[in-house]
Structure 1
């Protein structure tokens, strides 16, 4: 656990050897970059700061957008003791210790803010342990999570905390942070006798770095520190695009393979295919591959798109999706990815129908509602003499022997049941299927007359 009496609230000059990201933590709201939808005049968090009445809350957002910083600022703003717990490293023992420290502070007439980083990593019992103390007001609870709290935070705790969604920093926000970081490094260099000359970033390198950081303030500041160190070692005073790319050779795009960014992007791919936009579909497909998604996972989802959103309007879509998955298994990356891209574009351009998908869901519900209705005798199998004597298969009409290959008027549902689940559209091949079904229903009507 850490109190608020640390680098954040101390003299930054006295901690020159601390990481640059720590030294750059804002000391008040005026230094916070980004999150104007929460911190602007009249906005929710600004109002909370100005009210002087802290409330329990959960900060939900990607890494490096200021969740910890805002929690610490609230502790300073409310003159509260700040206790931080990491759910990655902590457990019930840390919660008990935090409660004891908060009780001492309460006895001294001081508030406590308990900050739990990565709160989604605590299990249900650990999250429940906070509830009595949140309700009693022993401390104000602030949780931080990169995951959707609707799924990862207990409903009881969620109901006692307000959720604030923090957004990735814009390129303009990151450019502002780059300038601050470079200026701080320059002041550090000037404060050292015989120190290195101040570092400069060429305009194109500055822009490239801001885009590379992908909305993450911590990433951009840490990158500047790494680049500055390597530039000093090489005797450089100006960082251009080429030097920057050499120094930051890793692909560090934000892509959480199990989190919200992952599911948001696969959702965007699926909806682009459904919306018949091949360009957007291809973009999201490439974006996910670029971020490290498993092509086999994408292949499975592409097959699902084919049967859910194209269906019988163009059965070739399913074949092409299956072929793409098979080709990828044979060729691997990167060659096999082209076959998956081909399937994505074909699906986006194909005629669309979810009639089969909707019919399947209705049939499942219908089967669940009506239980184990017996199979009609004329539809039962009769492999033995006894079964034939019992009437299995009797009066069954063999469709191939009937006019048009169709037993007009025959019923195939259990007795007393019947429904029309499949409603084909007029798009693609499904239009011909609709015509065929309409013709067969005419035969049924003629058979009744």
Structure 2
């Protein structure tokens, strides 16, 4: 058993002071506040939080940071640049890039990532000798970086949707496809997780999976695992779906029995009242990625309406324009203020829960995201002595963290009781900035 003395700890009931955490076999054994430092205990000054959950990531998008920030355009012009990066990766280069990206996430306090993975095959669509080589590269990258991963292996069968129907996969899209839903299932069912890895599943979007591909069978085959889908990110997607199917994307998926308590809709930016009701009725969640949604000019999603309907919210970094779950959390509230002209829609505790407990639950790690006996010992500590957080009042530490902290304030990160970040330095990956530079430059030359 190991002991840690924490200056402040965020629990379900609020901020506790002078807390001794006992950890054994990767789980929290006890949480005891108002204690002096025990002999031999490790001291964690600052605010200790449950580890953060990044519920939606495309690791390879990290290579685009800065490259897609010039000029004008829309989501669709950004996608053309993204496809260029997608066409350059192989299992070795993806391992190097993802390892560095996941190390960056660890430095930002993230202990679990949901990797929405669809770069399955070679650039021309030819499978690798191991058809899951790219997925296993991501699993290995997370292992080397010390964080947990839920591999959301994605079914991507069509190249787009118009009022006239579905387009075939073209160009680099060919590496995303398996030829059909049955072939995807055959490949997906061969994937294996471990104590660090959950195997989930995803439908890329209603643009890439058609009713004829049989949503009901797909949902039955993936029952019980985390299931995600890009949903209503762009008005053009909604318009094409309504024109072709006579239903919104949410309505189409609802009609085919896709939604469940294991399902998470990613983005969900442009929803109708009926869409929100359908998600709530099924117990499905929504993952917002505000920095990406702003960066791509997607719009501001209906966070307030979803929360009031009882839809659980989680957060993701998506395109890696920024990897900072504190920024994503406060953006939910701040964007809602912009959308409504009013302040105070979400408490700091609720916003923090979106970055922790509900995010882990959306990824199949229901025993993470809280600091209490029996929970996984996945913890993130932020210092309170930076220029951003200096002067923090202990009883308002949650508010200060959510509305002022950044990834740079993370000092200590633990996953399963193992320290992977100490004093702001990654303990498993040397020189993370240099590793990122090498991986990105290796991709683009």
Where on the TM-score scale, by shorter chain, does this alignment land: which range? under 0.3
> Which of the two has higher C-alpha Rg?
1
The normalised TM-score by structure 1 is 0.25
User: Whose helix fraction is larger, Structure 1's or Structure 2's?
Assistant: 1
User: Whose strand fraction is larger, Structure 1's or Structure 2's?
Assistant: 2
Higher relative contact order (CA 8 A, sep 6+): 2
The normalised TM-score by structure 2 is 0.25
